Amino acid sequence: MPLLDILRYPDPRLHRVAKPVAAVDGRIRQLAADMIETMYAADGIGLAATQVDVHERLLVMDTSEGRDTPRVLINPELVAASDEIVSGQEGCLSVPAVYDDVPRHARVTVRALGLDGQPFQFDAQGLEAVCVQHEMDHLVGKVFVEYLSPLKRERIKTRLLKQARELLKKSA
């Protein structure tokens, strides 16, 4: 299975809004498998289809300690969220080496379809709650740096564009 290319911020494609998955078929199962492999290879805890330039509502995540319990969420919806907000350091495979505090609901209830096409629902808290909110943001075109101040965001953008240019020079 091939590893997928992960889009890097500030790539405008990261801001596209994903459409619902129309059918959980072989194509979607293959995409999910490739995304799981890509997430593990990049040492991430979550990856949204948007990040691999597929604009459909699908995400994969694994916040387990053994990193052996991947979860696939198709057409995920937030059905409940706690009033309590927590703020913790987040990073993103699309924004390498940047970590900053983002406010999130402490607890959420999420409903989604699984790879079998059947709906399921789960409650999440802690890292899992943060991760699922972060990944669901990707599906509506939102990258976590958009929670930061415009000044911080511009600095991140400048730094990543510079890195991208240097990488291009090296490979030229």
Residues contacting Ni ion: total by CB under 5 A: 1
Pick between residue 107 and residue 142 the one whose CB is nearest to Ni ion.
142
Pick between residue 27 and residue 99 the one whose CB is nearest to Ni ion.
99
Specify whether the CB–CB gap between 147 and 103 falls below 8 A.
yes
Question: Is 135 one of the catalytic residues?
Answer: yes
End-to-end CA distance of the chain: 28
**Least distance to Ni ion, CB of residue 134, Å:** 5
The rounded distance, in Å, linking the Cα atoms of 95 and 7 is: 9
Residue 30: count of CB within 10 angstroms of its CB:
11
Query: Considering only residues 36, 92, 102, 113, which one is a binding residue for Ni ion as defined by CB under 5 A?
Result: 92
Binding to Ni ion by residue 160, rule CB under 5 A? no
Specify whether the CB–CB gap between 45 and 61 falls below 8 A.
yes
**Least distance to Ni ion, CB of residue 159, Å:** 17
List beta partners, residue 61. Answer: 46, 71
**Least distance to Ni ion, CB of residue 162, Å:** 21
Tokens read off for 46: 């979550």
Tokens read off for 8: 């890097």
Q: Which residue carries 């600095």 as its tokens?
A: 155
DSSP 146: G
**Least distance to Ni ion, CB of residue 92, Å:** 3
- Rg of the Cα trace of the chain? 16
Stretch that binds Ni ion, among 8-16, 23-31, 70-78, 91-99 (CB under 5 A): 91-99
Binding to Ni ion by residue 59, rule CB under 5 A? no
Give the residue at shortest CB distance from Ni ion.
Answer: 92
Tokens read off for 67: 């990193």
Phi, psi for 56 (deg, rounded to 5): -130, 155
Out of 37, 135, 146, 166, the active site residue is 135
Stretch that binds Ni ion, among 1-9, 63-71, 84-92, 103-111 (CB under 5 A): 84-92
What mask, x for binding Ni ion by CB under 5 A, covers residues 19 to 48? Answer: ------------------------------
Q: Which residues are catalytic?
A: 135
Q: Which residues bind Ni ion (CB under 5 A)?
A: 92
